[in-house]
Each structure stands twice: as structure tokens, then as C-alpha cells.
Amino acid sequence: MLALVLPIGEERYAVPTASVREVAAAVRCTPLPAAPPWVLGVVNLRGEVVPLLDTSTMLGLGPMSRRASFAAVVDLEAGPAALASDAVPVVADLDGTLGHSDLPGSLGRHRVGGQLVVLLDPEALVAAARGDGAASGMTDR
């Protein structure tokens, strides 16, 4: 399976390429004062306002240690969202499943080369961050 690997600190996470619209570099984020901690703010992508989500916080790892320099824009049921990454995301072919992952919104553990990568379901990741069990929209910002 092809996936976009997102570096988050020293860890690697991935999303299926089928759910990725684009990768944006050097994203300029406008903070939203009343947003939950996992929403860094919004970014303007060629006139479309898209929420920028702190992938690290959504995974329960705490806030990103560095500024989000890249974002993977994914299509969700509620509309597009950008998953923050602090280094260049790369497309990779995931090796066979190594087993289950207990992280919120994860689909399992895989190997890419010699690195462990956790495959994420973006829809389930947002639902887990919201605590509602279903990503039916991100209107609670």
C-alpha cells in the first residue's frame, strides 16, 4: 500500500495516499483563539481556508516540538484538513502489517525500510481528537 509518511519529531506516521489531496510547504497559520489544543489554526491554500491540525497532539504525544513546516492536506467527510508535519513527508510503499497500534485513529504498524511507521486513518484520528467517535464535522472550534 502506498502511503504518505509524516515525520513527527523522531517518529513516523503515515496516511494512505488515496486520502491525500496535496502536501503544502512553509504553511503560514492564523491561530484561532477559541480552538481546541489540537487545532493550530487555519491556513489559506489558494483561497481555500483549511484547518491546520497538530498531528502530534491528536496522537496524544503532546504539542509539536517545532513549527509545522509541512502539512498533508487530506479530504475528510467534513471537508479538507491539513495534518501538520515538522519535516518533509515522503511517499513510501508500506511493508506488511506488523500488528495492531493502540494510538487513536491508527490502522496498524508497518515497516518502511528499517523504520517503524504507524498508519493513520485521518477520519478516525479527527474523531478521536474530538472525542465524539465520528468525524461528522469540525464545527466545535
Q: Report pLDDT digits (tens) over 95-119.
A: 777 888 888 889 999 999 889 999 9
- Per the prediction, the chain carries an average pLDDT of 88
- List, in order, residues 6 or more apart from 37 with CB less than 8 Å away: 54, 57, 63
Please give the torsion angle defined by the CA atoms of residues 16, 27, 46 and 83, in that order, rounded to the nearest 10 degrees.
Answer: 30
pLDDT of 135 above 80: no
pLDDT of residue 140: 38
What phi and psi values does residue 126 have, to the nearest 5 degrees? -65, -40
Q: Which helix (H) or strand (E) holds 128?
A: helix 122-130
Query: Alpha-carbon distance 72 to 68, whole Å?
Result: 11
Quote the number of domains for the chain: 1
141 located within any domain? no
Confidence of residue 72 (pLDDT cuts 50, 70, 90): very high
Q: Does a structural domain hold residue 126?
A: yes
Residue-wise pLDDT for 21-71, tens only, equals: 999 997 789 999 999 999 999 999 999 999 999 999 999 888 886 778 899
Q: Region 123-128: what's the mean pLDDT?
A: 93
Residue 33 burial (C-beta neighbours within 10 Å; 0-12, 13-18, 19+): exposed
| Phi, psi of 132, deg, nearest 5 | -110, 0
113 assigned to some structural domain: yes
Which three-class secondary structure state does DSSP give residue 85?
strand
What is the Cα 64 distance to its own chain's centre?
12
Q: Regarding beta strands 48-53 and 79-85, do their DSSP bridges make them parallel or antiparallel, or are they unpaired?
A: parallel
- CATH number of the domain encompassing residue 71: 2.40.50.180
Asked, for residue 46, whether it belongs to a domain, the answer is yes
Asked if the structure places residue 138 within a domain, the reply is no
Whether residue 83 contacts residue 29, with contact meaning beta carbons closer than 8 Å, is answered with no
Q: Residue 134 pLDDT more than 60?
A: no
Residue 52 lies in a domain: yes
Q: What is the pLDDT of residue 132?
A: 64
Q: Is residue 73 situated within a structural domain?
A: yes
Residue 136 lies in a domain: no
State the DSSP code for 86: S
In 3-state terms the chain splits into helix, strand, coil percentages (rounded to 5) of 10, 45, 40
Query: Which residue range(s) make up the domain with 38?
Result: 2-130
